[in-house]
Amino acid sequence: MEIDFKHKQAAHCENGVVANLMTYNGFTVSEPMVFGIGSGLLFTYIPFLKVNYAPVVSYRAMPGIIFTRFATRVGIKIKREKFRNPQTAKARLDENLQRNNPVGLQVGVYNLPYFPDEYRFHFNAHNMVVYGKKDGTYLISDPVMETVTSLTEKELEKVRFAKGAFAPKGHIYYPTSFPKKLQLEKAIVKGIKHTCRDMLAPVPVVGVKGIRKIAKLIRKWPKAKGVKVANHYLGQIVRMQEEIGTGGGGFRYIYAAFLQEAGKLLTNDQLLELSKEMTLIGDQWRDFAVEASRIYKNRSNSVAVDQYDHVASLLEDIANKEEVFFKKLKKAI
């Protein structure tokens, strides 16, 4: 069977799944709106953890939490299930498709056959929608892809039961009840306040302080770890910032798009102005990526230390701008 599901490409998988599921259920919500209401924007440095032999920074809230926050703020109920046994997981999925209910799935990226080889890492927080089953293959709407695709039963089981950090355990989710009319205004205010609180949090590794912390570390790396390792670390930061799913500039552009939409909805001109400002901050993140790539581009082992200082100071400048920005944003609503 095939459910009449409209696939729309998105920048980020989780927002994309939510926006597409909402549209299917008759509520048109844009991807930036989901991201903003779910308070997706963040900056964190996660100490002690290494992925790919490099430190981890994240530009977004934890996987899954964006949808949870979005749902509570606009008044939707979601059902989530995880499974131990792949057979039960499959049976539950088939049951839902039988009932004409497209569902969101959390999957691992490593075994996704339609991804380019270079992008297949052990990353387990990818999201997609299954909207049907035909001749033993599942019809898949993966929001980062331009068009819909399909996976065989075996392939889908493999990605649903990928292992490692954030193991999906067959995680399946779908909205179960909706409000009569979607009230976005209050939800927007809540979402923005939450983001401001996160970005200005008095925690050394979160938000603006987290950006400053990373800048400090970048200054240290070439001396403490050697140029080769420092370049690898720097590359990882840029990848987290610009990789597929961010919409560019470490989610800052998506957030600016959200502020613009929110400003129009709430008829708040200040938000429109702040959206422009956020775009400029996004551009600065892009500049940082360009400057950083100049360092790790040449693979020689003799990079002047002052180049690292230079990119670090770019980051510190961004941190200062974002601090001012989020203080203004807090007052604007």
Partner 1 sequence: MKKNEVPQDKSNLESANFKELCYAVDENGEYTTELSTGWSPKTIALNNAIEVLNERISASKQRVKDLKASPLEYYMELHKMDLPILASYVGIWKWRVKRHFRPAVFKNLNNKTLQKYADVFDISIEELQRTDL
Where do contacts with partner 1 occur on this chain (CB under 8 A)?
9-11, 32, 52-53, 110, 114-122, 144-146, 163-165, 167, 231-232, 235-236, 238-239, 242-244, 247-249, 253-254, 256-257, 260-261, 275-276, 279, 282-283, 286, 289-290, 292-293, 296-297, 299
Work out how close the CB of 163 gets to partner 1 at its nearest, in angstroms, rounded to a whole number: 4
> By C-beta, is 90 or 239 nearer to partner 1?
239
- Return the number of the residue (35 or 174) whose C-beta is nearest partner 1: 35
- How large is the angle between the packed helices 269-297 and 252-265, nearest 10 degrees? 170
Q: 81: closest CA among 187, 199, 170, 197?
A: 170
- Contact (Cβ atoms closer than 8 angstroms) between residue 146 and residue 9: yes
DSSP H or E run through 92: helix 86-98
Residue 192 is encoded by which pair of tokens?
A: 């923005």
Nearer to partner 1, 34 or 76 (CB): 34
Angstrom distance (rounded) from CA 203 to CA 208: 9
Report helix, strand and coil shares of the chain as percent, to nearest 5. 55, 15, 30
Residue 128 pairs in a beta bridge with 105
Which one, 125 or 256, has the nearer CB to partner 1? 256
Of 280 and 304, CB closest to partner 1: 280
| Least separation in angstroms between CB 72 and partner 1 | 25
**Beta carbons within 8 Å of 88's beta carbon, 6+ residues apart:** none
Give start and end residues of each alpha helix (H) in 99-250.
153-160, 184-199, 207-225, 227-242
**Nearest distance from residue 132's CB to partner 1, in Å?**
23
Q: To the nearest whole angstrom, how small is the minimum distance from the Cβ of residue 33 to partner 1?
A: 11
The CB-of-119 to partner 1 minimum distance in angstroms stands at 7
Q: Which CB atom, from 53 or from 331, has the smaller least distance to partner 1?
A: 53
Biggest CA–CA distance in the chain, Å, is 63
Least spacing, CB of residue 311 vs partner 1, in Å: 12
